[in-house]
């Protein structure tokens, strides 16, 4: 049992580690996708405003160029100002062509493979309007990638930035939200651009749906197997105990009549009882009763299907239930050693069913016999037959010792006997009610019990009526 529990716990731990690893991998993948999307957004924003940036850059460059030429001419008056300006213009055009070729090659790719040039960021003024436009672009990019995670692009001022945090794949802010790696946009003010990711857990768990479902199915299957194994072991222990009790009871019950008959025969042989007709008759009568009792016990065991697989063999016939019960009552009255009063009522004078008459008679006889055995000296047995539209209901009620409700579900089990300590005042194997239940079930009927301690017992049998 301990090994089973350890195995179950070990499998759950392995599944948990696997799920956690998968969750962290998907988390890193989401952050990486959003980070690349941030690069795309900046590149797209720059492309959309490139004409304005170019004009501003040209103006700034022209101003710088004029100041530079003026300064050079002041230092070297012999230089030609127009030629120097033409050389600088030629170098500027060549530098812009080189940049354009690189930008076109980068644009042909789905996503940038490297971070954009620093002067590109220097041309963008990162104010509230710029951030709002970038957030709109970010929403569009994420939507195109089917990433349903709220992301907000923000500026962050960092006084000091640890080296590992810049390169770490997973980074969090002070609130615990995931962020992309910071992008330096202003080294003088320590300004960084980041994208904050708001609670991606739901999105990640949805993406892990099949893994979670598979893990849940495996865990439920393991728990189900574990519970079924415990139930099977408990049931086997219970059956083993009942079989042991049955064997002990059967051995005792079979030895008692045999020992009695042997004692009677020995008395006849040794003590001359064969010459005394009265004593001879007494011993023979005692032997006959014990042998009848032994025959009944053997017959009951032989008729009962111990495994419950095939059931008893039934031979259906049409007969009157009232007549059958009257016959059972007359048989029960023979040899009674208690004061027993019988009462039989029926809603109809004739109640016909299609069933095995012999086995139904055994069922009624068994229930009457139990009512007599498990009652005090004065016994009242009331049998009522109620005819319904499709069924008949037979109630057998007594004023006996009763059965505690806790045992109602067990009394029809094989070998079960209501516990009364180590000794049973009434002999039996615990097969009688199991046989009754087996016969009623094979007739596609129903049987239940209503009982309480010291309040008697009522057995209710429902069988299908005859179509005749």
In this predicted model, what pLDDT tens digit does every residue of 354-381 receive, in sequence order?
999 988 988 998 899 889 888 888 999 9
C-beta neighbour count of 252 within 10 angstroms = 11
Q: Do domains 232-303 and 317-464 have the same CATH topology?
A: no
Q: Is the pLDDT assigned to residue 140 strictly greater than 70?
A: yes
Listed in sequence order, the residues at least 6 apart from 410 whose beta carbon sits closer than 8 Å to its beta carbon are: 416
**Secondary structure of the chain as H, E, C letters:** CHHHHHHHHHHHHHHHHHHHHHHHHHHHHHHHHHHHHHHHHHHHHHHHCHHHHHHHHHHHHHHHHHHHHHHHHHHCCCCCHHHHHHHHHHHHHHHHHHHHHHHHHHHCCCCCCCCCCHHHHHHCCCCHHHHHHHHHHHHHHHHHCCCCCCEEEEEEECCCCCHHHHHCCCEECCCCCEECCCEEEECCCCEEEEEEECCCHHHHHHHCHHHHHHHHHHHHHHHHHHHHHHHHHHHHHHHHHHHHHHHHHHHHHHHHHHHHHHHHHHHHHHCCHHHCHHHHHHHHHHHHHHHHHHHHHHHHHHHCCCCCCCCCCCCCEEEEHHHHHHHHHHHHHCCCCCEEEEEEEECCCCCEEEECHHHHHHHHHHHHHHHHHCCCCEEEEEEEEEECCCEEEEEEEECCCCCCHHHCCCCCCCCCCCCCCCCCCCCCCCCHHHHHHHHHHHCCCEEEEEECCCCCEEEEEEEEECCC
Q: What is the pLDDT of residues 378-398, one digit of tens each?
A: 999 999 999 988 899 999 999
Q: Looking at residues 238-243, what average pLDDT do you find? A: 74
- The per-residue pLDDT for 59 is 67
Sequence ranges of the domains in the chain: 2-207, 232-303, 317-464
* pLDDT at residue 223, rounded to an integer: 85
Q: Is the pTM of this model over 0.85?
A: no
Whether the predicted pLDDT of 86 surpasses 50? yes
Query: Which of the pair, 213 or 66, is modelled with greater confidence?
Result: 213
Q: Give 302's pLDDT tier (boundaries 50, 70, 90).
A: low
Lowest mean pLDDT segment, chosen from 161-165, 200-204, 223-227, 277-281 = 161-165
What whole-number distance in Å separates Cα of residue 255 and Cα of residue 343? 37
Segment 182-235, tens digit of pLDDT? 888 777 777 888 888 888 888 888 888 888 888 888 888 888 888 888 888 888
Q: What is the pLDDT of residue 391?
A: 92
Residue-averaged pLDDT of the chain = 79
Q: Is 34 exposed, middle or buried (0-12, 13-18, 19+ CB in 10 A)?
A: buried
Q: What CATH number should be reported for the domain whose range is 232-303?
A: 1.10.287.130
User: Averaging pLDDT over each range in 18-22, 174-178, 283-287, 449-453, which range is the top one?
Assistant: 449-453
Q: Give the residue, 107 or 98, on which the prediction is more confident.
A: 98
Residue 96 has pLDDT above 70, yes or no: no
The structural architecture, per CATH, of the domain 317-464 is 2-Layer Sandwich (3.30)
Do the beta carbons of residue 414 and residue 242 sit within 8 Å?
A: yes
Q: What percent of the chain has pLDDT over 70?
A: 76
Residue 463 pLDDT grade (very low, low, confident, very high; cuts 50, 70, 90):
very high
Instruction: Tell me: pLDDT of 420 over 80.
Output: no
Looking from the CA of 36 toward its CB, the CA atoms found within 13 Å total 14
Give the best-scoring range by mean pLDDT among 121-135, 327-341, 346-360: 346-360
**pLDDT category of residue 309 using cuts at 50, 70 and 90:** low
């Amino acid at each position: 049992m301990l090994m089973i529990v350890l195995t179950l716990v070990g499998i759950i731990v392995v599944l948990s580690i696997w799920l956690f690893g998968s969750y962290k991998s998907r988390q890193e993948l989401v952050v990486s996708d959003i980070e690349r999307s941030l690069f795309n957004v900046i590149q797209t924003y720059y492309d959309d405003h490139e004409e304005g940036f170019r004009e501003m850059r040209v103006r700034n460059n022209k101003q710088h160029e004029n100041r530079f030429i003026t300064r050079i001419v002041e230092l070297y008056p012999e230089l030609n100002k127009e030629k120097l300006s033409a050389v600088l213009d030629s170098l500027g055009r060549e530098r812009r062509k080189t940049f354009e070729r690189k930008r076109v090659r980068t644009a042909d790719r789905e996503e940038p493979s490297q971070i954009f040039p620093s002067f590109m960021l220097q041309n963008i003024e990162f104010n509230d309007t710029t951030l709002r436009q970038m957030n709109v672009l970010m929403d569009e990019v994420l939507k195109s990638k089917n990433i349903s995670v709220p992301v907000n692009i923000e500026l962050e001022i960092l006084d000091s930035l640890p080296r590992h945090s810049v390169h770490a794949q997973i980074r969090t802010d002070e609130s615990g939200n995931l962020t992309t790696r910071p992008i330096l946009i202003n080294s003088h003010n320590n300004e960084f651009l980041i994208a904050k990711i708001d609670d991606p857990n739901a999105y990640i768990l949805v993406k892990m749906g099949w893994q979670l479902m598979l893990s849940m199915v495996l865990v439920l299957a393991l728990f189900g197997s574990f519970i079924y194994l415990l139930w099977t072991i408990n049931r086997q222990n219970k059956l083993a105990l009942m079989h042991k009790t049955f064997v002990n009871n059967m051995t005792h019950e079979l030895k008692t009549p045999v020992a009695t008959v042997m004692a009677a025969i020995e008395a006849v042989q040794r003590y001359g009882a064969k010459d005394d007709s009265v004593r001879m008759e007494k011993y023979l009568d005692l032997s006959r009763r014990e042998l009848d009792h032994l025959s009944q016990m053997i017959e009951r065991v032989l008729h009962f299907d111990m495994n419950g697989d095939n059931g008893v063999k039934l031979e259906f016939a049409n007969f009157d239930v009232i007549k059958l019960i009257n016959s059972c009552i007359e048989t029960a009255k023979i040899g009674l050693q208690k004061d027993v009063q019988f009462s039989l009522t029926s809603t109809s004078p004739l109640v016909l069913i299609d069933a095995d008459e012999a086995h139904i008679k055994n069922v009624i006889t068994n229930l009457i016999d139990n009512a007599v055995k498990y009652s005090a000296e004065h016994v009242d047995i009331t049998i009522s037959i109620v005819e319904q539209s499709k069924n008949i209901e037979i109630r057998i009620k007594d004023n006996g010792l009763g059965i505690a409700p806790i045992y109602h579900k067990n009394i029809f089990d094989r070998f079960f006997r209501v516990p009364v300590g180590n000794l049973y005042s009434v002999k039996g194997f615990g097969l009688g009610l199991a046989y009754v239940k087996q016969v009623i079930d094979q007739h596609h009927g129903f049987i239940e019990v209503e009982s309480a301690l010291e309040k008697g017992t009522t057995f209710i049998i429902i069988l299908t009526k005859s179509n005749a």
